[in-house]
């Protein structure tokens, strides 16, 4: 009996009625895009942007706070009253400070300059600065950054000038004053930076996409010393890499990175998400592709990973977007879905998941950041793009069990699946011999009941709004009633 009661409490308190995840968010008629998510004690902080739905659409750097069951607490905006727009690309944190970098511009145009924002551990902004080097004559914005042990900031940026792409690395003091700056380019090639990693005390790594006129794109990593001096470059021997999106150090001194890859060159531009591990000498240890392949696509509108983290169990999880297409009445419909994969340090895939808020083809759903909570569950953030809505961009947050499932039940919940809903009434609860289920939002076309291990124990098509189910032969324990494949309510059988 104690075991059943404990199970009931876990489901009720943590994943019960007040759960507000797998939801989309807009605030004060602002389009919202979430980029990164972090946990601070009993609060989730999500960074992103909020953009007014009127000209000149000046997007604002946004810090949103949520509690651990997904209820919104507050928003903090940077430079809210300015006509300038700020688009964050990456947020990193230390124990005491949070750095966000990105692109700024007038109206809703990005790339006039880069910006940096440093906040304290409560996400109160300490300073906010715009930056563009004197040598930059065109589009310039920061892609990633880090805070050193002494509190200085190092940020990597890209300059776009015509057909050229140049990588800049700049170091600032703790107040944002420039200390030094270096640029990296190669005749005949474009250097398009995506990520930055402090590899050790004397070396930083810059993850880039390297490509040139009539030259295939390749993943590459620049090595620079602590003063930004060029030390060398690793270039993937295989062509097709679309950029090193994020890097993490491994225990043996190597690197794991994520991104995306053309994996069928010469056949079609079919793109999958990509993960690779390099040893300390930058030799490939393993690599794998993940997710359904997307077809021809723009540079960043295809299957790829945008973030990954190391978990408390020593494994890794990566999140991003997957390409998907379906032929309906002779018309090809394209849709992006959120994707996640968990893998070991040896490159073994433990699980792969797809997530969608609504299974239609007017929405694209993209995951951009992920965090592991203290109980091993995962929270990921990103955006939903509704191409026919008045406010097309909406922030998106999901919470999963450690196995990557939205619910603890079976595979039907892998892609967003049913969500807890007050539209179902279950009485009595706990039940002894029967339950009456009433659907307040219409007719129960299909009814499924699953046990806590995900086994289907009951199925019916009652075609009415209320039904009585005999549970007298069901074992004591927790069950989930799923109505019309979308709405979920739990109940307990206890005698």
Tens of pLDDT, residue by residue over 210-231, are: 988 777 889 999 999 999 999 9
**Is residue 279 within 8 Å of residue 298, measured between CB atoms?**
no
**Is residue 357 within 8 Å of residue 381, measured between CB atoms?**
no
- Calculate what percentage of the chain has a pLDDT beyond 70: 81
Q: What's the residue count for the chain? A: 495
Residue 389's contacts (CB-CB under 8 Å, 6 or more residues apart) are none
pLDDT level of residue 262 (50, 70, 90 thresholds): low
Residue 298's contacts (CB-CB under 8 Å, 6 or more residues apart) are none
271-297 tens-digit pLDDT:
778 999 999 999 999 998 887 665 544
Q: Report the C-alpha gap between 343 and 356 in whole angstroms.
A: 21
Residue 149's contacts (CB-CB under 8 Å, 6 or more residues apart) are none
pLDDT level of residue 14 (50, 70, 90 thresholds): very low
Residue 187's contacts (CB-CB under 8 Å, 6 or more residues apart) are none
Q: Which CATH class is domain 424-493?
A: mainly beta
Q: Of 97, 226, 200, 199, which is closest to residue 151 (Cα–Cα)?
A: 97
pLDDT value, residue 159? 86
pLDDT level of residue 362 (50, 70, 90 thresholds): low
Strand ranges inside 201-344, DSSP E: 203-212, 215-225, 230-235, 241-249, 255-262, 271-278, 284-294, 304-310, 316-328, 331-343
Q: Report the C-alpha gap between 439 and 386 in whole angstroms.
A: 28
pLDDT value, residue 412? 36
Q: What is the pTM of this model?
A: 0.77
Q: What is the number of other CB atoms lying within 10 angstroms of the CB of residue 494?
A: 15
pLDDT value, residue 332? 60
Residue 128's contacts (CB-CB under 8 Å, 6 or more residues apart) are 78, 79, 115, 116, 117, 118
pLDDT level of residue 418 (50, 70, 90 thresholds): low
- Measured CA distances, 290 to 15, 160, 319, 368, 466 (Å): 29, 30, 11, 16, 43
Residues 405-410: what's their mean pLDDT?
56
- Average pLDDT over the chain, rounded to an integer: 82
- Measured CA distances, 336 to 302, 322, 355, 469 (Å): 8, 5, 10, 39
End-to-end, the C-alpha distance of the chain in Å comes to 9
Q: Of 101, 104, 112, which is closest to residue 58 (Cα–Cα)?
A: 104
**Is residue 195 within 8 Å of residue 244, measured between CB atoms?**
yes
- CA angle (200, 203, 206) in 5-degree steps: 110
Phi, psi of 14 (to 5 degrees): -90, -40
Strand ranges inside 54-177, DSSP E: 60-67, 72-77, 84-93, 97-106, 113-120, 125-131, 139-147, 153-161, 164-172
Ranges of each domain in the chain: 424-493
Q: Report the C-alpha gap between 78 and 86 in whole angstroms.
A: 9
Q: Of 245, 196, 459, 239, which is closest to residue 367 (Cα–Cα)?
A: 245
Name the CA radius of gyration of the chain, rounded: 24
Q: Report the C-alpha gap between 261 and 279 in whole angstroms.
A: 20
pLDDT value, residue 15? 31
Say how many CA atoms lie within 13 Å of 256 toward its Cβ: 24
Higher pLDDT, 420 or 78: 78
Pairing of β 113-120 and β 97-106? antiparallel
């Amino acid at each position: 009996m104690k075991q059943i009661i404990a199970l009931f409490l876990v489901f009720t308190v943590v994943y019960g009625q007040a759960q507000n995840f797998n939801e989309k968010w807009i605030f004060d008629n602002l389009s919202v895009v979430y980029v990164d998510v972090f946990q601070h004690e009993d609060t989730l902080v999500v960074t992103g942007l909020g953009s007014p739905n009127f000209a000149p659409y000046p997007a604002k750097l946004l810090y949103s706070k949520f509690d651990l069951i997904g209820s919104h607490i507050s928003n903090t905006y940077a430079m809210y009253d300015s006509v300038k727009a700020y688009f964050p690309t990456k947020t990193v944190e230390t124990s005491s400070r949070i750095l966000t970098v990105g692109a700024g511009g007038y109206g809703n145009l990005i790339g006039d300059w880069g910006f940096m924002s440093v906040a304290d551990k409560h996400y109160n902004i300490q300073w906010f600065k715009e930056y563009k080097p004197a040598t930059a004559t065109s589009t310039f914005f920061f892609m990633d950054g880090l805070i050193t042990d002494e509190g200085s900031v190092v940020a990597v940026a890209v300059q776009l000038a015509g057909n050229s792409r140049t990588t800049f690395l700049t170091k600032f003091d703790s107040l944002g004053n420039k200390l030094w700056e270096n640029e990296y380019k190669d005749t005949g090639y474009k250097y398009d930076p995506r990520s930055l990693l402090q590899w050790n005390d004397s070396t930083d790594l810059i993850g880039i996409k390297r490509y040139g006129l009539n030259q295939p794109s390749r993943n590459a990593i620049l090595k620079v010393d602590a003063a930004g001096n060029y030390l060398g470059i690793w270039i993937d021997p295989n062509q097709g890499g679309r950029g090193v999106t994020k890097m993490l150090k491994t225990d043996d001194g190597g690197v794991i990175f994520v991104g995306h890859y053309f994996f069928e060159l010469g056949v079609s531009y079919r793109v999958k998400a990509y993960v690779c591990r390099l040893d300390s000498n930058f030799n490939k240890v393993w690599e794998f592709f993940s997710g359904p392949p997307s077809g021809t696509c723009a540079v960043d509108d295809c299957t790829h990973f945008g973030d990954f983290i190391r978990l408390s169990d020593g494994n890794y999880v990566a999140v991003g977007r997957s390409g998907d297409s379906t032929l309906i009445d002779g018309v090809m419909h394209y849709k992006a879905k959120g994707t996640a994969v968990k893998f070991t340090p040896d490159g073994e895939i433990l699980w792969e998941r797809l997530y969608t808020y609504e299974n239609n083809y007017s929405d694209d759903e993209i995951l951009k950041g992920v965090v592991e909570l203290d109980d091993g569950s995962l929270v990921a953030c990103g955006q939903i793009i509704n191409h026919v809505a008045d406010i097309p961009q909406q922030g998106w947050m999901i919470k999963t069990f450690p196995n990557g499932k939205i619910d603890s039940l079976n595979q039907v919940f892998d892609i967003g699946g049913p969500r807890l809903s007050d539209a179902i009434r279950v009485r009595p609860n706990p039940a002894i011999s029967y339950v009456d289920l009433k659907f307040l939002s219409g007719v129960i076309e299909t009814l499924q009941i699953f046990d806590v291990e995900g086994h289907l124990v009951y199925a019916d098509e009652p075609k009415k709004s209320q039904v009585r189910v005999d549970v007298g032969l069901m074992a004591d324990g927790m069950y989930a009633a799923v109505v019309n494949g979308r709405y979920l309510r739990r109940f307990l059988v206890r005698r």
